Amino acid sequence: MQTQNPVGLFFFRHHNIYGALDQRLFYTEDSRRDVEQSVRAHLLDPDAPLIEVKARDGVDINTLLEEVRTPLTTPWAEHQFFMHNYDRWVLHMPTLSVKHPGLVSYYQSEEKRGRNIRTPIKPGRYLKKFFGELLDEETIQSLAIEWETWATPPELNVTQDADEIETVYRDGPHSCMAYSASHFEGCCHPARVYAGPDLAIAYIGPKNDAAGRVVVWPEKKIYSTIYGDIHRTKAALHAAGYKEIENNEEFDGARIRSIYDSRLGCYVVPYLDTHDYAEDAGQYLVLDDSGGIHCRWTNGTNVEDPEPSSDCDECGDNTPDSNLSYVRDHGEFCPHCVETYTFLCDETFNRHHTDERNEGPQEQEYGPDANTFYCDATDTFYLASTRHPHRRTYSSVAMSNGETWVDFHFDAHGYHDAVTGENHPYTSEEERLAA
Ligand SMILES: [Zn+2]
C-alpha cells in the first residue's frame, strides 16, 4: 500500500475578506498535484510566490510544521522584511544555533536540508546575504543586535519554594496549570507539590512574569516539557548543564510533596507531564506509573469529580456535603442522624433536634422557633400566632397559681374573679356546675 504520510507542504499567500493570510497546505505523494492545482486556483495574485517545502526522509507532519514555524519564534519574525518574504527564509529555516550561541543556524540549500546539515552564520552576515537589497546597513546592525540579545542564554532560576512556584505558574506561560489557586478544586495550588524534595521548577524571566518554565530534577540535571519560550528556556537549561529527558521514565521515583485534601478526600496533584500516576510513599508522593494516584486531571486533584465532604456534627462520620442537612443550632447532620435525631417543625418547616421537640395538639410537632406557649393543664404546646392563613391559634390564660392554661381549657375548667381580677380553676365539679 502506498504511504499517505505528508511528504511536503506548500506555502502561499491567500486572500480573503480579512486581507492576506499566509497559508500552509500539506500534501501526500498522491495528492501533490491536486493540492498544487487547488492552491494555484486560489492565488488571487498570480505573482505571489508559491513555496514548496519537501519533507526529509523520516520526518513526520508535526516535525515538518515545527521546523517551518521555528523561524517565526525568532525576534525577526515581527518585522515586515521577514513577514513579507517567507519565500526567502522558509527554505533556510533560520533559528538559534545551540552550538554557537548568538549565531544563526540555517540550511544553505534544499539538498543540505534533506541531509539535515545546518550551517552557523553571524546574524548580520545572514541578513546582508539574503535580505541585503531590502535593508540598509544601520537596520542590519540593529537587527543583528536584536538577535544576539535574544540568543544569549537568559539566567535560569531554579526554585523549590512553594510560593515562588505558585507565582511562576499563575503569572507565567499559558498551560492547563497556569491559573490561580481558586481555579482548582483542591485546597491549594497543585504546582506546590513541586517544592522538593527531588523536583523543582526552573524558569526564565522575573518570577511574576516568567517567559518559560519547566519541571526539573536538579540532582540529575534533567528537565521535562518546556512551557512558554521554548528556545530561550532550552538555551538557559543547557547553559546550566541540564539535559532534556529522552523518555519519561527518567523521572521515575522522583519524590514530590504529598498534599492531602481532607475536605475532598483526595490528593492535590497537578497534571504531570511525565507520568500518569504517582504512589503514596508516606511522607511524599513518588512518580510511578504503577501507583494508584491519577495525575492527569486538570482540576488540581487525583479524581475526576472531587466531592467535598465534612464530618456529621452529631455522630462525626465523614459524609459528602451534598448529603448533609442543616439542623438549626446543631449544625450539619448525615442522613442517618437526620432520620434518627431530627424532625421538621409543622409551623416553620425548619429542621430541629428531637431534644427540642414541643408536642402540639393533633400530633403537631413544633420547634423552639415557632411562637407557641405551654399549657400546664393539658401538657401540650399551642400556637400563639401563625404564619399560615386559616391555621388555628390559641390564647394563653395566666392562672392565679402561676400556671398557664390554654383558652378552651380555661373556659371549661376555670373562672375569672371580677373582684380580684384573678383567674382560678374550679376546685370541684359541683363548683363548676353551680357557677
Ligand atoms: Zn451522623
Strands 243-244, 222-223: pairing is: parallel
Give dist(CA 299, CA 184) in Å, integer: 5
pLDDT higher than threshold 50 for residue 1: no
Task: Calculate how far, in angstroms, residue 334's C-alpha sits from the geometric centre of ligand 1.
Answer: 4
8 A C-beta contact, residue 212 and residue 291: no
Cell of 384: 400563639
Strands 157-159, 200-204: pairing is: antiparallel
| Of residues 304 and 99, more confidently modeled | 304
Task: Calculate how far, in angstroms, residue 341's C-alpha sits from the geometric centre of ligand 1.
Answer: 9
Q: Which residues contact 222 (CB under 8 A, 6 or more apart)?
A: 216, 242, 243, 244, 245, 250, 251
Task: Calculate how far, in angstroms, residue 92's C-alpha sits from the geometric centre of ligand 1.
Answer: 72
Considering the entire predicted model, what is its pTM?
A: 0.57
pLDDT digits (tens, 9 = 90+) for 137-174: 999 999 999 998 888 888 999 999 999 999 999 999 99
pLDDT at residue 44 in the model: 67
Cross-strand bridge partners of residue 403 = none
pLDDT at residue 197 in the model: 96
pLDDT at residue 90 in the model: 84
Cross-strand bridge partners of residue 26 = 9
pLDDT digits (tens, 9 = 90+) for 305-348: 888 888 999 999 989 898 999 998 899 999 999 999 999 999 99
- Dihedral, 318, 319, 324, 326 alpha carbons, nearest 10: 0
Give dist(CA 83, CA 101) in Å, integer: 24
Task: Calculate how far, in angstroms, residue 323's C-alpha sits from the geometric centre of ligand 1.
Answer: 11
Name the residue with cell 513518588: 286
pLDDT at residue 60 in the model: 78
Give dist(CA 117, CA 110) in Å, integer: 10
Task: Calculate how far, in angstroms, residue 396's C-alpha sits from the geometric centre of ligand 1.
Answer: 38
Task: Calculate how far, in angstroms, residue 320's C-alpha sits from the geometric centre of ligand 1.
Answer: 12
Give dist(CA 32, CA 28) in Å, integer: 6
Q: Indicate the length of the chain as a whole number.
A: 435
Strands (E), 160-235: 200-204, 212-217, 222-223, 227-228
Task: Calculate how far, in angstroms, residue 420's C-alpha sits from the geometric centre of ligand 1.
Answer: 55
Task: Calculate how far, in angstroms, residue 335's C-alpha sits from the geometric centre of ligand 1.
Answer: 7
pLDDT at residue 63 in the model: 79
pLDDT at residue 325 in the model: 92
DSSP string, 375-403: ETTTTEEEESS-SSTT-----EEE-TTS-
Look at 23-32, 130-139, 364-373 and tell me which has the smallest mean pLDDT. Answer: 23-32
pLDDT at residue 427 in the model: 80
Cell of 278: 504517582
pLDDT at residue 26 in the model: 86
Which amino acid is present at 150?
A: W
Give dist(CA 246, CA 356) in Å, integer: 69
Task: Calculate how far, in angstroms, residue 338's C-alpha sits from the geometric centre of ligand 1.
Answer: 7
Listed residue (251, 261, 142, 249) closest to 200, CA to CA: 251
pLDDT higher than threshold 70 for residue 200: yes
3-class DSSP state for residue 365? strand
pLDDT digits (tens, 9 = 90+) for 268-294: 999 999 999 999 999 999 999 999 999
